[in-house]
Amino acid sequence: MMSQKYKVIDLYKRLLHLGKDYPSGYDLFRSKLHNVFLKNSKENDPVKIEKMIAHGEYVVKELEALYMLKKFRTLKRRYYDN
């Protein structure tokens, strides 16, 4: 099982990767992500850290859904122009 440190690092990397397609731009996404992780870097309570990791996983799923919807709408517009 992964330690919490590696879970957090993995989550940060996945979010950075997903941020490349963020509508407001990668730089804004990266700076906000960095600030959130930096703000919570002093947290030591394992239960709180697990809750934050779970919230981060939720954000990953929401971003993936947002991008899939964007792709779907683009394809729909491209092939079914009304």
Confidence of residue 54 (pLDDT cuts 50, 70, 90): very high
Q: Please report the pLDDT score of residue 80 as a whole number.
A: 83
> What mean pLDDT do residues 20-38 have?
92
Q: Model pTM?
A: 0.82
Rounded to whole angstroms, how far apart are CA atoms 20 and 72? Answer: 18
Residue 1 lies in a domain: no
Residue 2 lies in a domain: no
DSSP string, 13-82: HHHHHHGGG-TT-HHHHHHHHHHHHHHTTT---HHHHHHHHHHHHHHHHHHHHHHHHHHHHHHHHHHS--
User: Per the structure, how many domains does the chain have?
Assistant: 1
Q: Which domain holds residue 59?
A: 8-79
Residue 75 lies in a domain: yes
11: pLDDT strictly greater than 60: yes
Mean pLDDT of the residues in the chain: 91
Residue 13 lies in a domain: yes
Q: Which residue has the higher pLDDT, 11 or 75?
A: 11
